[in-house]
Amino acid sequence: GIQVEQSPPDLILQEGANSTLRCNFSDSVNNLQWFHQNPWGQLINLFYIPSGTKQNGRLSATTVATERYSLLYISSSQTTDSGVYFCAVRKGNTPLVFGKGTRLSVIA
């Protein structure tokens, strides 16, 4: 099945810093989503982005489908950005496959 690798596994930032999270996947996909899992366990939708670039406030994402990777950019990080960021992909009608996540800690 499709493999999803996320890097880095852990990231510690000072409040106000910027960061880039990466997601590599092993096959062509028709669905790619980025989620933030907050400390209470809720998965929050950030982006549905099988290709192209999207921005939402301090967050933006880019997926280069032909090269099988996606990037999530967080600018001017805040303590509320802490949590685990997951990339998940789907090919055709197969199940959504998640990476292992990037655990982000933002320190005041």
Partner 1 sequence: GAGVSQSPRYKVAKRGQDVALRCDPISGHVSLFWYQQALGQGPEFLTYFQNEAQLDKSGLPSDRFFAERPEGSVSTLKIQRTQQEDSAVYLCASSFSYEQYFGPGTRLTVT
Question: Binding residues for partner 1, per CB under 8 A?
Answer: 30-31, 33, 35, 40-43, 45, 48, 50, 86, 88, 90, 93, 95-101
Instruction: Supply the minimum distance, in Å, between the C-beta of residue 57 and partner 1.
Output: 18
- CA–CA distance, 88 with 108 (Å, rounded to integer): 29
Tell me how far, at minimum, the Cβ of 99 lies from partner 1, in Å: 6
Q: Does residue 47 contact residue 74 with C-beta atoms inside 8 Å?
A: no
Choice between 38 and 75, CB closer to partner 1: 38
Q: Which is nearer to partner 1, 14 or 93 (CB)?
A: 93
Of the candidates 45, 107, 37, which has an alpha carbon nearest to the alpha carbon of residue 77?
107
* CB-based contact 46:88 (threshold 8 Å): no
Nearer to partner 1, 40 or 66 (CB): 40
Closest CB 4 distance from partner 1, rounded Å? 8
Sign of CA dihedral 99, 23, 88, 4: negative
